[in-house]
Amino acid sequence: MMECGSGCGSAPPAFPPGRSARLRRPVRLRRSDGESPSFRAFARYSAGGPCLEGLPLRPPGCVSPPGGRFGFPLHRLSLTQGPSLMSSGPRPQAPTVAVTRPEEEGAGEDRLSQWLRREGMRPVSFPLMALAPPMSPGALNAAAKRLVGAVKRGELPPYAWIVITSRNVITPFLDAVERAGGSPQVLQAGGLHVAAVGQATATALEQAGLPADLIPTRYTAEDLLQALRERGALGAGRRILLPRAEVARDVLAEGVRELGGNIDVVTAYRVVEDHAGAEALCQAVRRERVQGVTLTSGRAACLLGATWADGGGGSWPRTVRVGVIGPVTAEATRKAGLRVDEIPEEATLPALARAMARTLGVSK
């Protein structure tokens, strides 16, 4: 005999005909003999009232109807993990979220994908951008050669600081240093200071053997500029090296110059548009194959908006939530004609993943 668990009422709970509610985790049925078989289940409305159905286990004493499912009136059962496990509608257990960041060769699963998975979502890669070497690496190679040459001669390095605003810069910069006959250890021995825009970039630098000396409290170019100013990096005779993407915001470089500092900007890599990825994502959105989209750059947002408009446009589906990394990307996303549903309080990938979990109603 199946026995009702704690908190069970005598009347069936309200449940509209024709709707279903799926449980997110296995639940247990409490039996009078003490056994509590687990099974994954969902609720449905039938002629006899709301019923709990499950698969694959059949509790002893229960007769399975054709098809291998079994059912009990909901008012005779309770969920020992609480009714909050039920969500109305056909939403899947793990919402699918599009990750639009460039795929890094040999880097394994994208870091944002890892955080989304930890928060209970299913990440799928739809890269809107791709990484490519600079058209002309001459300026990067020349800067690395000057830096390594001065250190090896025992002279003060031509740059007091190198500023890294993206982990995508690290490999091409250190490759240039190696071609010049240097290494991360040589740069450290020469007294070069390193600033990183955020903790993830700092971690990547440390793994590459070039730990950061400065990380701003907030991960934006504006805050990095302020942190450099407070550390005296903008004084007379002090020069900064900024290796970056070919196309990037000029906030940092212009800010350094406005404050009287000297800065050399060199191209370390290019970000090119991935039109095939944008078309595939728009198709997935229209076919309701994703429930969320993440954007971490304004340029990616512009490409997605243009591709969406070229494919017929129309309103972006309310069922597909859009999360962006920060206010700059949010502004570009809105200008591209797309809706912004979530902006995390801090511009980090873990915070973006948590924001997506919140807007999609995911609880771990």
pLDDT-based confidence at residue 319 (cuts at 50, 70, 90): very high
pLDDT confidence tier of residue 134, bands split at 50, 70 and 90: very high
Which tokens hold the place of 31?
A: 């039996």
Best CA proximity match to 75, nearest among 131, 16, 120, 13: 13
Tokens 């490519």 appear where?
132
- Best CA proximity match to 236, nearest among 257, 262, 217: 262
Mean pLDDT of 147-161: 92
Copy the structure tokens of residue 170. Answer: 């690290």
Name the band, by pLDDT with cuts 50, 70 and 90, for residue 108: low
- Between 258 and 301, the more confident residue is 301
Cβ–Cβ < 8 Å for 245, 164? no
What is the rounded distance in angstroms from the CA atom of residue 354 to the CA atom of residue 116? Answer: 8
For 132-272, CATH number?
A: 3.40.50.10090
Q: Which residue carries 């409290």 as its tokens?
A: 217
Higher pLDDT, 277 or 232: 277
Alpha helix stretches (DSSP H) within the chain: 111-118, 138-152, 170-179, 184-189, 199-207, 221-230, 251-258, 275-286, 298-310, 327-335, 349-359
Q: Which of 191, 189, 261 is nearest to 225 (CA)?
A: 261
Domain boundaries, the chain: 21-87, 96-128+274-359, 132-272
237 Cα distance to chain centroid: 40
Distance CA 73, CA 13 (A): 10
- pLDDT-derived band at 364 (thresholds 50, 70, 90) equals low
Of 161, 109, 107, 115, the C-alpha closest to 131 is 107
Helix, strand, or coil (residue 213): coil
Residue with tokens 């704690």: 6
DSSP letter (8 states) at residue 75: G
The one-letter code for the residue type at 285 is V
pLDDT over 90, % of the chain: 53
- Which pLDDT belongs to residue 313? 75
Does the pLDDT value for residue 283 go beyond 70?
yes
Amino acid residing at 40: R
Q: How confident is the model at residue 107 (pLDDT cuts 50, 70, 90)?
A: low
Tell me: pLDDT of 40 over 80: no
Q: What is the pLDDT of residues 163-208, one digit of tens each?
A: 998 889 999 999 999 999 999 999 988 889 999 988 888 999 999 9
DSSP annotation of 315 reads P
Answer yes or no: same fold for 96-128+274-359 and 132-272.
yes
- Can you tell me the distance from the alpha carbon of 97 to that of 349, in angstroms, rounded to the nearest whole number? 14
Q: Are strands 161-164 and 129-132 parallel, antiparallel or unpaired?
A: unpaired
Distance of CA 192 to the CA centre of its chain: 32
Residue partners of 226: CB distance under 8 A and separation at least 6: 216
Question: Cβ distance 27 to 38 under 8 Å?
Answer: yes
Is 71 a residue whose pLDDT tops 60? no
**109-133 confidence digits (pLDDT tens):** 788 999 999 999 999 999 999 999 9
Pairing mode of beta strands 321-324, 292-295? parallel
Q: Which residues of 20-39 are buried (b: 16+ CB within 10 A; e: fewer)?
A: bbbbbeebbbbbeeeeeeeb
Comparing 63-72, 106-115, 259-268, 310-319, the range with the smallest average pLDDT is: 63-72
Asked: is 96-128+274-359 a CATH 3.30.365.10 domain? The reply is: no
For 254, the 3-state DSSP assignment is helix
List residues bridging with 189 in a β-sheet: none
As a whole number, the mean pLDDT across the chain is: 78
Question: What are the residues whose beta carbons fall under 8 Å from the beta carbon of 27, sequence distance 6 or more?
Answer: 38, 39, 40, 41, 79, 80, 81, 85
- Per-residue confidence (pLDDT) for residue 248, from 0 to 100: 79
How far, in Å, CA of 355 to CA of 323, rounded?
7
